[in-house]
Amino acid sequence: MSASENTALAPVRRPLADTGRTAALTSWDAEGWAGLRVVVAGLGVTGFSVADTLAELGAVVVVVDGNDGPENQARAETLRIVGVHEVLLDAAATRSLPEVEGAPAELVVTSPGWRPDQPLLMAAHAAGLPIWSDVELAWRVRERAGRPTADWVCLTGTNGKTTTVTMVEAILRADGRRAIACGNVGTPVLDAIRDPEGYDVLALELSSFQLHWTHRVAPASSAVLNLAEDHVDWHGSMEEYAAAKGKVYENTRVACVFNEHDPVTRTLVERADVQEGCRAVGFTTDTPGLSDVGVVDGILVDRAFTENRRHEAIALAERTDLGPVAPRHTMANAAAAAALTRAVGVAPAAVAEGLRSYDRGEHRIQLVATSRDVMWVNDSKATNPHAADASLAAFTSVVWIAGGLPKGVTYEELVGAHAHRLRAVVLLGTDASALRSALAAHAPDVPVHAPLADADGTGPADGAAVMAEAVRVADGLARPGDTVLMAPAAASMDQFRSYAQRGEAFIDAVAALMREHGWDTDAGTAAP
Residues in binding site for ATP: 157-163
The DSSP-derived string for 175-223 is: TT--EEEEESSSB-HHHHHT-TT--SEEEEE--HHHHHT------SEEE
What is the rounded (10 degree) CA torsion for 341, 346, 349, 353? -50
Q: Which helix (H) or strand (E) holds 367?
A: strand 366-371
Q: Which helix (H) or strand (E) holds 300?
A: strand 299-302
- Interatomic CA distance for residues 172 and 179, integer angstroms: 6
Give the number of other Cβ atoms within 10 Å of residue 5's Cβ: 5
The DSSP-derived string for 470-492 is: HHHHHHHH--TT-EEEE--SSBS
The distance from CA 95 to its chain's CA centroid, rounded to whole angstroms, is: 28
SS3 351: helix
Question: By C-alpha distance, which of 426, 478, 418 is closest to 443?
Answer: 418
What is the rounded (10 degree) CA torsion for 369, 486, 417, 163? -80
Burial 435-474 (b: 16+ CB within 10 A, else e): bbebbeebbeebebbbbebeeeeebeeebeebbbbbbebb
Query: Is residue 401 a contact partner of residue 488, using CB atoms and an 8 Å limit?
Result: yes
- Interatomic CA distance for residues 22 and 339, integer angstroms: 35
Q: Which helix (H) or strand (E) holds 37?
A: strand 37-41
Amino acid at 122: M
> Which residues participate in the annotated binding site?
157-163
The DSSP-derived string for 87-115 is: EEE-GGGGGS---BTTB--SEEEE-TTS-
* DSSP one-letter code for 419: G
The size of the chain, in residues, is 528
Cβ-Cβ contacts under 8 Å for 476 (sequence gap 6 or more)? none
Cβ-Cβ contacts under 8 Å for 519 (sequence gap 6 or more)? 371, 372
